Amino acid sequence: MSQKRLSGKRAIVTGGATGIGYGIAKRFIAEGARVIITDIDNPGGIAAAEVLGLNCEFVHHDVSVPADWDRVFAVAADRFFGLDIMVNVAGVTLMGNIEQLDVDTWDKTMAINVRSCFLGCQGAIKAMKSDGGGSIINMASVSAFRPQAELVAYNASKAGVDMMTKSVALHCARSGYGINVNSINPGVIQTQMLEKVISQVDNGEALMDSYKAMHPIGRIGEPEDVASMAVYLASEEASFVTGSGFTVDGSLSNN
């Protein structure tokens, strides 16, 4: 049997109760990693950790709150004695164009989608830089560079994640920390978050059909599609890869 690609690695995956986060945690464990999944959904996180097994632990976590991050990193230090992989997945997609969107919805989007990545990167660097380095993966989106009128806050937040990733990667490279920092830009992925987006509009079925039609490959993505890229970026195979965004979108961004 071939060597597992993440054997002995220690990871944190936010938004791990469902969707992309859960898919990444599942693949990481299959590849030999131990994983802390975090989520604001306490019952969902507990259930997910039970399914994922002994190499998974759940920590309740509001990713927009600095004190919650302190607790998550303390758990990693206590249970794992360090950290090798940080994956910032948790996020929200709140609909609204520039005329419709209110300030509270804008601020909520930025806190959960952008501030969370800032805090996750900051804490992960502190944990990794004196312990042999590691890999940080931020979940951006094709929405970082493919705008939609009804996603003004989401577009702006994911563009922020994309550029922040590059800035953090450059800092870590110049500092000699041995920490690679990259982002993944998924297309439309079949998740509970997508179901929430669909529920925000009057004709959800038509919106879903339009999303499918946007992907030349003929389908929307699955969490496993994104998880495969995350495994690569977290592995030693990507040791010379940093400051890059990897698009996983069935050619949506070329359509």
Per-residue pLDDT of 119-178, as tens digits, reads 999 999 999 999 999 999 999 999 999 999 999 999 999 999 999 999 999 999 999 999
Residues 6+ positions from 134 with CB-CB distance below 8 Å: 83, 84, 85, 86, 124, 127, 128, 178, 179, 180
Residue 53 lies in a domain: yes
Contact 207, 163 (CB under 8 A): no
Average pLDDT over residues 231-249: 98
Catalytic residue among 22, 154, 177, 211: 154
- 249, pLDDT greater than 80: yes
Residue 253 lies in a domain: no
pLDDT digits 0-9 by tens, 77-121: 999 999 999 999 999 999 999 999 999 999 999 999 999 999 999
* CATH at 96: 3.40.50.720
Residue 198 lies in a domain: no
Q: What is the largest CA-CA distance in the chain?
A: 57
Q: Whole-angstrom Cα distance, residue 241 to residue 152?
A: 30
- 204, pLDDT greater than 80: no
Q: Report how many domains make up the chain.
A: 1
The pLDDT of residue 1 is: 44
Residue 194 lies in a domain: no
Contact 133, 179 (CB under 8 A): yes
Residue 255 lies in a domain: no
Residues 6+ positions from 207 with CB-CB distance below 8 Å: 197, 198, 201
- 210, pLDDT greater than 90: no
The pLDDT of residue 2 is: 61
Residue 175 lies in a domain: yes
- 200, pLDDT greater than 80: no
Give the model's confidence band at 191: pLDDT under 50 very low, under 70 low, under 90 confident, else very high: confident
- The CA-based angle 8-9-10, given to 5 degrees, is 120
Residue 216 lies in a domain: no
Average pLDDT over residues 227-255: 96
Q: Which domain holds residue 90?
A: 10-188+222-247
The pLDDT of residue 46 is: 98
Residue 42 lies in a domain: yes
- 201, pLDDT greater than 80: no
- 234, pLDDT greater than 80: yes
154 is catalytic: yes
pTM, rounded to two decimals: 0.94
